[in-house]
Amino acid sequence: MPASSLHTKDAAWSGRFNEPVADFVLRYTASVGFDQRLALVDIEGSLAHAAMLAHVGVLTAQDLAAIERGLTQIRGEIESGTFEWQLALEDVHLNIEKRLTDLIGDAGKRLHTGSSRNDQIANDLRLYLRGEIDRLAGVLTQVQRALVELAARHTETVMPGFTHLQVAQPVVFGHHLLAYVEMFERDAERLQDARKRVNRLALGAAALAGTTFPIDRAFVAARLGFDGVCENSLDAVSDRDFAVEFCAAAALLMVHVSRLAEELVLWMNPRFGFIRLPDRFTTGSSIMPQKKNPDVPELARGKSGRVVGNLVALLTLMKSQPLAYNKDNQEDKEPVFDSVDTVLDTLRAFAEMVPGIEVDAAAMRRAAAEGHATATDLADYLVRRGVAFRDAHEAVAQAVRLATERGCDLAALSLAELQRFAPSIGTDVFAVLTLQGSVAARNHVGGTAPAQVRAQIDRWRARLAQRTV
């Protein structure tokens, strides 16, 4: 099996070994192909670490100036795409350190005094996730705003509310949309709560036991905007529960996206005919010219599976690792990166797609009228007239059976026919059996009455207006 001579010469740890690493092993173990995404946060952490080393007297002012100058140049090369990544240098850390040493000499070799790739990578991932959580939260807010504004156009649009995907009770479409705003709000809260545990400094843990140098971890934490430090060095370098927690929040967010996507797919189907999606979010068929396929919602529904899979991958990765750092943890980054990319792209698509949704209010109303959606209202009416609820339930069930046999709605039955099942029914019952009357009657916080939906919208607009995107 061929070996890499470059790896022997440039590896940070090559002095311990008598032969170079095999080329295959180098390719198998190298992470630079994907962890280079962390380059800018790696530089950010290194700058803070170097400033601390100078602060405590481990680095000279001259060395610090050289390091800052060199890392600034490297950052520019990375941002411009001119930085040359070398597989032989394994990972993002050694690539940057080698380039720094080439630029500034021995000062570059002193940069990571009191540090290790173990605490570096843990810290890099924390810095990266903190920024991505903030970015995801901003796009999630855009999706919520889009849903709120679509809901505001449909506070009076009646549609069937479903249980078991069967017509249950009437709701207004705006109320239905706001259910997803609530779900996404909890997702936003979970992301922000996870951020608290992400935002802890790992630098200073070194390889696993800390360092003999007089470091000031609070100095670095303040410099990087962390809320505090990881207080146990073994835990700091070895656990990835903060990444698991992020992936769990991301997976649940995508489950909510997938539920909305599934409804969009159903509603666009001609059997429902409730909505039309903008053409730019649909595709046609290569053989059936009439087709207009909801590809974006379908893909979002499918991509939820990969984000859930990333969570399972991380949980499995961590479940049997002894303390402290193990090479297994190299496998933590790709699931995190993929979850970030997938969720971000999906939310961006929905933020742009939702405002263009066209609603067929007449189709929604017809569907609500077809399934005896006001049956519960009739039962409530009887209860208010002194009938026990179970007796009212039975009477209405018999009325529904008659209406079904007739092929008509409950409201189409005559007063005399309704009174066969419940003599206490009066002429005022027909106001109860209308769709508008049904939704208007649920006039309490959380109810589907148009007045309550408008109040919900006002609250959401005020809350979301306070957020930056």
Q: In terms of DSSP H, where are the helices of 282-330? A: 295-318
User: Residue 322: how many CA atoms within 13 Å on its side-chain side?
Assistant: 0
SS3 201: strand
Q: Which two tokens stand for residue 78?
A: 């990375």
- Distance (Å, rounded) from C-alpha 151 to C-alpha 117? 50
Q: Which two tokens stand for residue 34?
A: 């994907």
Catalytic entry in 93, 233, 285, 372: 285
Which residue is it, tokens 């090559």? 14
- Distance (Å, rounded) from C-alpha 196 to C-alpha 227? 8
Q: Count CB atoms within 10 A of the CB of residue 130.
A: 22
Residue 377 CA: distances (Å) to CA of 66, 77, 392, 406, 447? 77, 68, 11, 20, 14
Here the contacts of 424-429 (C-beta below 8 Å, separation 24 or greater) are 424/382, 424/385, 424/386, 424/387, 425/381, 425/382, 425/385, 426/385, 429/378, 429/381
- Distance (Å, rounded) from C-alpha 40 to C-alpha 79? 9
Residue 411 CA: distances (Å) to CA of 222, 392, 395, 396, 403? 68, 17, 15, 12, 9
Query: Is 149 in contact with 67 (CB distance < 8 Å)?
Result: no
5 is catalytic: no
Residue 116 CA: distances (Å) to CA of 12, 13, 33, 113? 11, 12, 20, 8
- Distance (Å, rounded) from C-alpha 345 to C-alpha 132? 12
Catalytic entry in 80, 164, 320, 414: 164
285 is catalytic: yes
- Among residues 160, 174, 189, which one has the least CA distance to residue 266? 160
* Residues noted as catalytic: 164, 285
